[in-house]
Amino acid sequence: RKEVEQDPGPFNVPEGATVAFNCTYSNSASQSFFWYRQDCRKEPKLLMSVYSSGNEDGRFTAQLNRASQYISLLIRDSKLSDSATYLCVVNSNSGYSTLTFGKGTMLLVSP
Amino acid sequence: DTGVSQNPRHKITKRGQNVTFRCDPISEHNRLYWYRQTLGQGPEFLTYFQNEAQLEKSRLLSDRFSAERPKGSFSTLEIQRTEQGDSAMYLCASSLGQGFTEAFFGQGTRLTVV
């Protein structure tokens, strides 16, 4: 089983739609979780951290389910500018605070 | 610009040549990471420094790859005897703190081996 798995998509949604991505991780001892956003041919940028209690930042909501070892990202009222690849990130098995990335889920928001 | 800086942005080299990339992290950040990314894949971890100490190296990092961070500031990544399979985007990131915190990425160096 890969350390971090994501559906690669693409997810094609119209503006205003709500879309959800899931991510599963293999290491039950992982402690830190993030969603990064990566635009085409650009570097990844932090979108939000994922806390055990769940957290919300405007139109974005992240949830963590430790029992099932998955993380979710919900985007409400999608905008054209949300089109990007969303990378699920967890701290790795090594324990030295390295980040392990999923392959990413591509989102395409159309007018 | 006080973000992570990488040079060069693009590098084209012939197979068998050596290349060196540089990363300047955010100035107060004690942790520095190198990743490699190919088309359609997420970034793959290569190596990690805390200050000047190289604490972790991926099994992906063959003997042809070496990284240094001599004074705990900037870092270099050298690839010797480049192969076509080394063609990728090489990303550097830095972070601050003892516990796990977010990492900030540079714009990357795109390597093409011909």
Strand pairing report for A84-91 and A33-38: antiparallel
Encode pLDDT of A25-53 as tens digits. Answer: 998 888 889 999 999 989 999 999 998 88
Give the residue from A98, A100, A105, A106 with the most B CB atoms within 10 Å of its CB, the best one to mutate.
A98
Residues on chain B touching A94 (C-beta within 8 angstroms): 56
In the sheet where A55-57 sits, what is the strand order? Answer: A4-6, A19-25, A70-75, A60-65, A55-57
Nearest to B74 by CA among B19, B8, B25: B25
- Contact, B55 vs B46, CB < 8 A? no
- Contact, B42 vs A101, CB < 8 A? yes
Range of lowest pLDDT (B34-38, B59-63, B99-103, B104-108): B99-103
Strand partners, A64: A71
- Calculate mean pLDDT across residues B41-64: 90
CA distance B107 to chain A (A): 5
The pLDDT, as a whole number, for residue B4 is 96
- Supply φ then ψ for residue B85, to 5 degrees: -70, -10
User: Is the pLDDT reported for residue B101 higher than 80?
Assistant: no
User: Is the pLDDT reported for residue B97 higher than 80?
Assistant: no
Q: For residues A28 and A15, give the distance between their C-alpha atoms in angstroms, rounded to a whole number.
A: 36
Angle at B112 between CA B108 and CA B113, to 5 degrees: 140
